[in-house]
Amino acid sequence: MPCESNHQPPGRHAALARMAVKILQDAGFKAYWAGGCVRDTLLGRTPKDYDITTNASPDDIMALFPGSVGVGKAFGVVRSPVEDAMFEIATFRADVSYSNGRHPDAVAFADPEQDAMRRDFTVNALFYDPIADNLLDYVGGRKDLELKIIRFVGNDEARIKEDHLRMLRAVRFASTLDFRIAEPTMEAIRRNAALITRISAERVRDEMTRLLVEAAHPGKALELLDSCGLLAHVLPEVAAMKGQEQPAEFHPEGDVFVHTVLMLDMMEDRPEALAWAVLLHDVGKPATAKKASDGRLRFPNHAEKGAELARAIMRRLKFPCATIETVGECIRNHMRIAESQRMRRSTLRRMAGSSHFPLELELHRLDCLASHRKLENYNFLVKFLEQMASEPVLPKPWITGNDIMAMGIPEGPDVGRWRRAAYDAQLEGRFHTREQLLEWLAGSLRQERKMNAEQRINTREAQTDPS
C-alpha cells in the first residue's frame, strides 16, 4: 500500500535518511525506513530518528558508508554517517532463539517479511521505501494504526517469552500514542505479568520514566499498568495505595491511588524528578494510616516515611544518586509548604532558596488541585518569589565563622550556632548592613557571656549554701 506523499516529513534529517536509502538502493540492495519512524510518519508526527533496514550485509554497509561503526555487527546492526547525521542500518534478520527473556541468542539474515515477523508490535513492523513512496505491511500494522490498537506481531505468548520487557513497552506505546491494547494482547500480559521481575532494574526504570514523561495521560497509563497486572510486580508500593482511604474533607476525590492518578494527569511540564515525586509523594500513607482518638483518619509522618520508601524504590531501580536525593527531598518536604504563611521570614527564605524548591512548589500545586483545590499557600509563595525577584532569596552571608571566632568564640558547635543566628537575622531584614549585624552579634555575645557568668556564680553559691 503506498504511503501518501503528504506523510513524508519535512526537514533535513528526513532528507538525509532518504539519502541513506538511496545510497543502498543505487548499490543494488533493498533498503527501507523501518519501525518507529514509519509509524510516526503515518501518524503525522515528526520522527525522533530514522532506522533503516536492508538486505546488504554489515560489511557491505560499512563499505558504502565510510566511518561506520559496527555497534551490533553480530546482530547485523551498523551505525553509519550521512553527512553530519548518524543512522542505524540493520540487515534483514530473523531471531534464532531467546534464552534470557530479553535478547536473541543469535540471528540469521533473512528477507523483509521475516524481519517484520520478529518485531514486537504490528505498528512498529512497517517498512517504507522513501524513494518509491511505497509502504510494506506484512503484519496488518497500517490497519492497527487506523484502529489505534497496540497488538503483538504473531503469537502473543511467543513475543512475551522472547522479550519480557515487551509487556511494559506495550503499556508505554499505548499510553504515548493514546491507543488501546488489543484484548488478546492484554490477556497475554496478565497471564505473564510476573515475568517482568526477570528484567533488569535499569530497563524497567527507563520504561517507567518514559511512561510517566511521554504518556498522553500518565495517570491513565498508571491505571493501565495496574489493569494488566504489571504494577504489582514493578511497583508494589504504589499498588498498595489502591483502596487506602483519606479524609473526605481534604480528599473528596477518593483514595490515595485515585489522588495520585489525578495528579499525574494534571502535570504540564514533566521533568523526570517531578514525575517520580508526584508518583511517590504519598507512598508512605498506607504504612502510616491510623485512626486518631477522635475517630478521624491520620497519616502521622507520612512524608518522612514516603521519602524513605521512595529512596528505597529508586535505589532498587538503579537511579542516579542525585535524582534519588532530589525526589526524596521533595517528598520529605511536600507538607511543609502548608505552613508557609506562618513561617518566620528567615525560614521562608531558606525553604524558597533550596535548589529543588521549584519542584516542591509545583508538587504542592498539583497536590492541591487533585484534592481540596485550595491554592492560598501556593499563591502566597508565588507572590513572595515575585517580591524577591530583585535580590537573591539566599544572599551571601555577611558573617562568617572567622568573624565569630575573632570575637572570642572557640572553634566548635557554638560557631555554627551563632553563624546560623546571624544569617537568620540577615534574612529577616533586621539589619541593613554588615556593620550593624556585627554590632548586634557582639552585643548578643556579651549578653550571653554575662548570663553564663551569672549562672555559674549562682550554681557555686547553691553548692556552698550550708542549708
Q: Which residues contact 434 (CB under 8 A, 6 or more apart)?
A: 398, 399
Confidence grade of residue 103 (pLDDT, cut at 50, 70, 90): low
pTM of the full predicted structure?
0.81
pLDDT over 70 percentage in the chain: 93
Judge contact between 33 and 115, C-beta under 8 A.
Answer: no
96: confidence class by pLDDT, cuts 50, 70, 90 = low
Residue 403 has pLDDT above 90, yes or no: no
| Highest-pLDDT range among 105-109, 141-145, 296-300 | 141-145
Band the pLDDT of 8: cuts 50, 70, 90.
Answer: very low
pLDDT at 106 over 50: no
For range 186-192, the mean pLDDT: 97
**Range 148-234 has CATH code 1.10.110.30:** yes
Question: Which of 322, 327, 293, 287 has its CA nearest to residue 310?
Answer: 327
Is the pLDDT at 5 greater than 50, yes or no? no
Q: Quick check: 51 pLDDT over 60?
A: yes
The model's pLDDT over 304-351, given as tens digits with 9 standing for 90+, comes to 999 999 999 999 999 999 999 999 999 999 999 999 999 988 888 889
Mean pLDDT for the chain overall: 89
Domain map (residue ranges) of the chain: 1-143, 148-234, 242-394, 401-464
Per-residue pLDDT, 296:
85
pLDDT tens digits for range 273-315: 999 999 999 999 999 999 887 878 889 999 999 999 999 999 9
**Whether the predicted pLDDT of 236 surpasses 70:** yes
Q: What percent of the chain has pLDDT over 90?
A: 67
Q: How many CA atoms lie within 13 A of 15 on its CB side?
A: 5
7 pLDDT tier (thresholds 50, 70, 90) = very low
Report pLDDT for 442: 83
Mean pLDDT of 35-54: 94
C-alpha cell, 214: 511521554
pLDDT tens string 256-266: 999 999 999 99
Asked if the model's pLDDT at residue 2 lies above 70, the reply is: no
Confidence of residue 1 (pLDDT cuts 50, 70, 90): very low
Superfamily of domain 1-143: Beta Polymerase, domain 2 (3.30.460.10)
- CATH among 1.10.3210, 1.10.1760, 1.10.3470, 1.25.40 for 242-394: 1.10.3210
pLDDT at 59 over 70: yes
